[in-house]
Amino acid sequence: MPASISADSVGIVSAQQIDFPGPIALLSGRTLPSVRLMYETYGTLNAARSNAVLICHALSGHHHAAGYHSADDDKPGWWDYYIGPGKPIDTNRFFVVSLNNIGGCNGSTGPTSINPETGKAWGADFPRLRVRDWVITQKMLMKALGIDVWAAVVGGSLGGMQAMRWSTKYPDRLRHCVVIASAMKLTAQNIAFNEIARHAITSDPDFHDGHYLEYNTAPRRGLAIARMVGHVTYLSGDAMGQKFGRDLRSGTFDPKSDDGVEFQVGSYLRYQGENFSDRFDANTYLLMTQALDYFDLAREFGDDPVQAFSATACKFLVISFTTDWRFPPERSRELANALISANKAVSYAEIESEYGHDAFLIPIERYKKVFAAYMQSIEV
């Protein structure tokens, strides 16, 4: 449990759920009979309803972005460093909305939910999703909360893609768009890593074509490997080197010993993988990585990002991190350049960090300053 909840925490929070009757049309042409969204809010919606900020989560995120669910919680929400009173997303000024996207495995309608048509869990039958499906369902939540225009839509990585899509799909529904460590589309290398992750899951004997829940099992080994691969790509080589070096957890290189050794980095990765497969659903992992791969901001704008942004009406902040090789600064510069060519308001900062892609979740002094300065500049 937290020794004490600090003054800059949103404190104890609780998740809420909201149900939308269907059918809800998805981009794939399929429909969901109904949709449940889990969400949390922090701060207070002002009388003018002009201070609402939407947080879009990344691959393995969920609605619990800040604060604690109970005094016994050992860890706060996933973006607690950046959301709270006096923090960059200042809950003294903003009303923050954070949800678990559909397809997720934290209570929102997803592969582990019951398909009312069959009475069984959706599993592999859950429709394939696109980033736009998330944006459309986020807009349903927006309406239900009585918000007409977001002060800002904010997201890192896959969350940044959702923020960008908001700007092109509902240009008059957001005033600011904050895109952190993201890209307008993935590269072949990036897709390749996701393919390895998916193959690890689908080749696990416990996968059962995605219907593992019916067999009361789960492709835990496959999901763990998927997470291990992902985790390596979210860190920088230097950060791993500093954290683990070539330290051994067990064994020895002494001559006349034929015993193997276990490196600290290996033990750490296995722990991360197993821990993740305890709490995450493999079908959700497949859906999320597919949505990442499919996303291409400019696909239906003649592959021209300038065209894609031409109808947007909000201001943009773009942030990247120097050692992020999964979503490198070059991708963010492309985004900023497209916005400049489209004559849109944009600022771009390249934050020096050793933490790779994970930097967007980690407290970094300059990142905090830039992020806070931008959020402070937003009128509410």
Partner 1 sequence: MRIDLDILQNWIAPQSRVLDLGCGSGSLLSKLAAEKNITGYGIEIDQEKITRCIERRVNVIEQDLDAGLKNFADGSFDTVVMSQTLQAVRYPHLVLDEMLRVGRECIVSFPNFGHWRSRFYLALRGHMPVSEFMPYTWYDTPNIHFCTVDDFEDFCRERNIRILNRRYVTGGRDDNALSVRWPNMLAETAVYRLAR
Q: How far apart are CA 190 and CA 340, in angstroms?
A: 26
304 contacts partner 1 (rule: CB under 8 A) = no
Q: Does 376 bind partner 1 (CB under 8 A)?
A: yes
Q: How far is the CB of 336 from partner 1 (least distance, A)?
A: 6
Beta bridge partners of 150: 174
Separation CA 119–CA 68 (nearest Å): 34
Q: Which is nearer to partner 1, 45 or 372 (CB)?
A: 372
Q: What is the spatial distance between Cα 312 and Cα 316, in angstroms, rounded to a whole number?
A: 10
Pick from 55, 39, 41, 37: which is nearest to 108 by CA? 37
Does 174 contact partner 1 by CB under 8 A?
A: no
Contact present, 285 and 126 (Cβ < 8 Å): no
Strand spans (E) along 207-304: 248-250, 262-263
60 in catalytic set = no
Q: Examine residue 31 and tell whether it contacts partner 1 (CB under 8 A).
A: no
Q: Which residues contact 285 (CB under 8 A, 6 or more apart)?
A: 59, 60, 197, 198, 201, 223, 226
Instruction: Tell me how far, at minimum, the Cβ of 344 lies from partner 1, in Å.
Output: 9
Q: Which residues contact 202 (CB under 8 A, 6 or more apart)?
A: 210, 219, 222, 286
d(CA 333, CA 277): 35
Q: To the nearest whole angstrom, how small is the minimum distance from the Cβ of residue 314 to partner 1?
A: 13
The answer to whether residue 39 forms part of the interface with partner 1 (CB under 8 A) is no
CB of 374 to partner 1, least distance (A): 5
**Which residue among the candidates 57, 63, 64, 357 is catalytic per the annotation?**
357
> Could you say whether residue 274 binds partner 1 (CB under 8 A)?
no
| 370 touches partner 1 by CB under 8 A | yes
Q: Is-catalytic flag, 90?
A: no
Which residue reads 């947007």 in tokens? 312
Q: Would you say 111 or 328 has its CB closer to partner 1? A: 328
377 makes contact with partner 1 (CB under 8 A): yes
Report CA dihedral (304, 306, 311, 313) to the nearest 10 degrees. 140
Q: Is 369 in the site for partner 1 (CB under 8 A)?
A: yes
Q: Decide if residue 347 touches partner 1 (CB under 8 A).
A: yes
* Binding range to partner 1, per CB under 8 A, among 15-23, 160-168, 291-299, 363-371: 363-371
Q: How far is the CB of 87 from partner 1 (least distance, A)?
A: 16
Instruction: State in angstroms the smallest separation of the CB of 225 from partner 1.
Output: 37
Report the residue from 293, 296, 350, 354 that binds partner 1 according to the rule CB under 8 A.
350
User: How far is the first Cα of the chain from the last one, in angstroms, to the nearest whole number?
Assistant: 35
50 included as an active-site residue:
no
Site for partner 1 in 309-338 (CB under 8 A): 317, 333, 336-337
Q: CB-based contacts of 117: which residues, under 8 Å, 6+ apart?
A: 33
Q: Is 307 in the site for partner 1 (CB under 8 A)?
A: no
Question: What residues are labeled active site?
Answer: 157, 324, 357
Binding site for partner 1 (CB under 8 A): 317, 333, 336-337, 340-341, 343, 345-350, 366, 369-370, 373-374, 376-377
